[in-house]
Amino acid sequence: MASAISIRQPAQIYEQEAQHETLLSKLKLYEIMLGSAKPMALRAAVLLNIPDIIAQASGSLTLEEIAAHISASTESPPHIEYLFRLLRFLASHKIFSEIPHQEDFKQSRYGLTGLSRLLVKETSEGGVSMLNYVPFLLGATSNLPFQGWLHLHESVLEGGSAFDKAFGMSAWDYAANNPELNKTFNEGMSCDTRAVMASVVKVYEEGFKKITSLVDVAGGVGSALSIIVENYKHIRGINFDLPHVIATAPSIPGVEHVSGNMFEHIPSADTIFMKWILHDWDDDDCVRILKRCYEAIPNNGKVVIVDALVVETENDEDEQEKCLRDVGLALDMTMMLFTGGKERTKMEFKKIIMKAGFKSYTIFKLPFVQAIIEVSKY
């Protein structure tokens, strides 16, 4: 007897494909709605000191061993099953490596990956890790951003930052009135600065060699400028920021701390340096800042901007380009939340640079979402 042949009709094929697409859409929606689980679980792991515990072991540890280390620094041992579920979840996102034990989950082993190594606070010698992103993570996962996100729709309707709407004041005023938050914010910016500036001083080497004086506008506590003058000792550095920021800045050899308002006046120098500053402001305010920069430099002077450069078109085939675009657009939403500022594409930077009176610019790529933009009067 001949075997029966099943032939699917076009309508059946379409229905199955539609069901598959609907299921994928539902799963993607769930992934988005539950997206806060990743950063908050990572925050918990950092507060439990797990990246450092594993780093100090110079290899992977069993769940029980990690629990024992946590117990040694707390008043009570951790809930072992909860700890397992936390690490299993983070390992599923490649934040930790995992060797599961089929019979006893307490014997599952966990190690560091490239992601979790960025959250190791101390070096093996006991110093602070140069790749320590912990302050950045703790700031990003505090309750302040989440309260702001609840007002994002109001920003879309009315303009202005969601943070202002949530707290009735700007992020800058809030930081000025909350010393502990101001300290956390500056530490977060410093950890990013250490990573980015290591590339900046190399990529822009020829430019730094020609500079004799440099003002870091809104330079925080001087983290970026300290790296510049350490590598190029002939440069006289001026760290320029608001009074409440300068008040917490440490003494740095070769650097003078000066307080003031960049919208009113910027100290004169050969070069103006701004790292992650223009993204805090809308186009009109950026033009005002750049005009003050124009006034502060000589005719052959430069303005050196280190800021995120949003990839203009999506390229799913290039994983790095897609990641850079995704991060750039996420940062853009974050700036809408906190300051009403924005991350910019190359053409958007060109618009504000030319409107401020400058005639030319050159872009130097970095291995980060940020790039160096060298701006000239002629």
Query: Please, what are the domains in the chain?
Result: 37-132 (1.10.10.10), 192-376 (3.40.50.150)
Q: Is 6 exposed, middle or buried (0-12, 13-18, 19+ CB in 10 A)?
A: exposed
Output the pLDDT for position 366: 93
Output the pLDDT for position 125: 55
Q: Is 159:342 a contact under the CB 8 Å cutoff? A: no
Output the pLDDT for position 43: 97
CA 335 to CA 277: how far, in whole Å?
Answer: 11
The sign of the dihedral angle between the CA atoms of 326, 328, 333, 338 is: positive
Q: Is 322 exposed, middle or buried (0-12, 13-18, 19+ CB in 10 A)?
A: middle
Output the pLDDT for position 226: 94
Q: How many CB atoms lie within 10 A of CB 274?
A: 26
Catalytically annotated residue among 69, 151, 257, 279? 279
Output the pLDDT for position 150: 94
Q: Is 207:376 a contact under the CB 8 Å cutoff? A: no
Output the pLDDT for position 213: 98
CA 236 to CA 106: how far, in whole Å?
Answer: 57
CA 208 to CA 210: how far, in whole Å?
Answer: 5
Tally the C-alpha atoms within 13 A of residue 378's C-alpha that lie toward its C-beta: 5
Which whole-number Å values give the CA distances from 32 to 20, 25, 38, 198, 243, in the listed order? Answer: 18, 11, 11, 34, 41
**Which runs of consecutive H residues, i.e. helices, occur in the chain?**
10-33, 37-47, 50-57, 63-72, 80-92, 114-117, 134-140, 143-149, 152-158, 162-167, 171-176, 179-203, 205-209, 223-231, 243-246, 283-296, 319-338, 346-355
CA 291 to CA 358: how far, in whole Å?
Answer: 9
Examine the residue annotation and report whether 69 is marked as an active-site residue of this protein.
Answer: no
The two beta strands, 360-365 and 370-376, are antiparallel
CA angle 247, 178, 308 (to 5 degrees): 75
Going from the first residue of the chain to its last (378 residues), give the mean pLDDT of each consecutive group of 10, the final group possibly shorter. 59 71 89 94 96 92 96 90 97 96 90 95 64 85 89 94 93 84 75 85 96 96 93 97 90 96 97 96 97 97 97 80 92 93 96 97 94 97
Which whole-number Å values give the CA distances from 317 to 50, 93, 323, in the listed order? Answer: 35, 21, 11
| Amino acid occupying residue 178 | N
